[in-house]
Amino acid sequence: MARKATFCVVVPAYNEEVVIEKSLRSLFSAINKKHVYVVSDGSTDNTSRIARKILGKNVLSLRKNVGKAKAIKKLLTRFKLTKRYQYVMFFDADTTLNKEYFRETKKLINSEPACIVGTVTSQRRRLISAYRAFEYGFSHRFFKNAQNAMGTITIAPGCTSTYRADVLNQLSFDGGTLTEDFDLTLQIHHQKLGKVVYSRKSYVITQDPITFGDYWKQIMRWNTGYWQNFFSHRLFLPNKKVNLEILLLTGDFFYWFATVMLAIFKPLFFLKLYGTALGIMLLLSITVLAVERRFWAIPYAPLFGVFHLINVASFIFSLFRAIIWHKKQLSWQKLPRYA
């Protein structure tokens, strides 16, 4: 008989004084605060003081900024979390979660998965959040469910993923990419450490960028990290099931890039093709937002096509950025927070 599952929550933070109290208190509706741990990675604001006021001794304050992945590793080691708990949840300091999170997560632990991935949702805030509401809704209902069925979940988001403790002991936290969550997920697949499964009703609410400049910075970080992992894990080799899934997703972006290139040589054909694509995307956006009951976001749907072009441009540009930074140690790159 499997031993009783116990959970703890790990919260890496860097200059999060604006949001960390709200995020920590949202956790207490789902888990006792004695099982919540924070690592402040060289923060220069009041992050550590606020966390200690709430959690007491369950806070590790690092003097020097070492990067998110290494900070998490230091926290796991300092408090011996992989020895004391069966499952460890990673949670971002700008995020809140629903009180049913762990109740829903527990429903999947009988099969002892390596990692349980939750659902990411967006706060209600104007255009960028409206697009994210569609993007998260579509990606989770379509891609995450499909990947879950095929056993090829590619990314366990850093704000809503719960790892089996013994699996964490076998993962590297060297922090050589901008997307440590993608790196850790790939390690699980490639080392065959167990299944990565999806829990639809275990959801968190995360902050979105407010300005287009911040949106560009965020997706550039995500896409650069994507390419860094693409090369370091040799995802271009179709010798594993998860690699094939990633190659298919990558090919989709290059298809759209090639389509955009048509605008230079055959602008009329491009306008017809992209006009049709925008119509399909508009219908899809409205359908997804209605199913997700995010009705407030529907009026913004006609503008979502712009984001798709921005995403394609970022994906291509970040390829060259990743080649330059491939072996470079990269630290936190975070956006402004709002209360």
DSSP 2-54: PPPP-EEEEEEESS-TTTHHHHHHHHTTTS-GGGEEEEEES-SSSHHHHHHHH
pLDDT at residue 1 in the model: 36
pLDDT at residue 101 in the model: 93
Q: pTM to 2 decimals?
A: 0.91
Q: In what order do the strands lie in the sheet with 59-62?
A: 59-62, 36-41, 7-13, 87-90, 161-164, 115-122, 196-206, 95-97
Among 123, 77, 100, 138, which residue's Cα sits nearest to residue 289? 138
3-state secondary structure of 180: helix
The CA distances from residue 332 to 23, 40, 122, in Å, are 19, 12, 22
- Rounded Cα distance, 319 and 326, in Å: 10
Helix then strand count (H, E) for the chain reads 13, 8
More confident residue, 243 or 327: 243
Q: Per-residue confidence at 216, pLDDT binned at 50, 70, 90? A: very high
Tell me how far the alpha carbon of residue 182 is from its chain's centroid: 8
Q: Quick one: average pLDDT of 133-152?
A: 93
Whether the CB-CB separation of 229 and 179 falls below 8 Å is answered with: yes
Whether the CB-CB separation of 40 and 332 falls below 8 Å is answered with: no
pLDDT at residue 326 in the model: 55
Domain ranges of the chain: 1-339
Residue 327 pLDDT greater than 70, yes or no = no
Residue 108 pLDDT greater than 70, yes or no = yes
- Rounded Cα distance, 287 and 289, in Å: 6
Q: Which of 53-67, 214-228, 252-266 has the lowest mean pLDDT?
A: 252-266
pLDDT tens for each residue of 183-203: 999 999 999 999 999 999 999
Q: Quick one: average pLDDT of 115-122?
A: 94
Whether the CB-CB separation of 330 and 232 falls below 8 Å is answered with: no
Q: Quick one: average pLDDT of 1-19?
A: 82
Q: Per-residue confidence at 332, pLDDT binned at 50, 70, 90? A: low
What is the fold of 1-339? Spore Coat Polysaccharide Biosynthesis Protein SpsA; Chain A (3.90.550)
pLDDT at residue 325 in the model: 65
pLDDT at residue 2 in the model: 44
Residue 133 pLDDT greater than 50, yes or no = yes
Residues composing the chain:
339
Percentage of the chain with pLDDT > 90?
A: 71
pLDDT tens for each residue of 275-316: 787 888 899 999 999 999 999 999 999 999 889 889 888 988
Tell me how far the alpha carbon of residue 313 is from its chain's centroid: 20
Q: Quick one: average pLDDT of 103-125?
A: 92
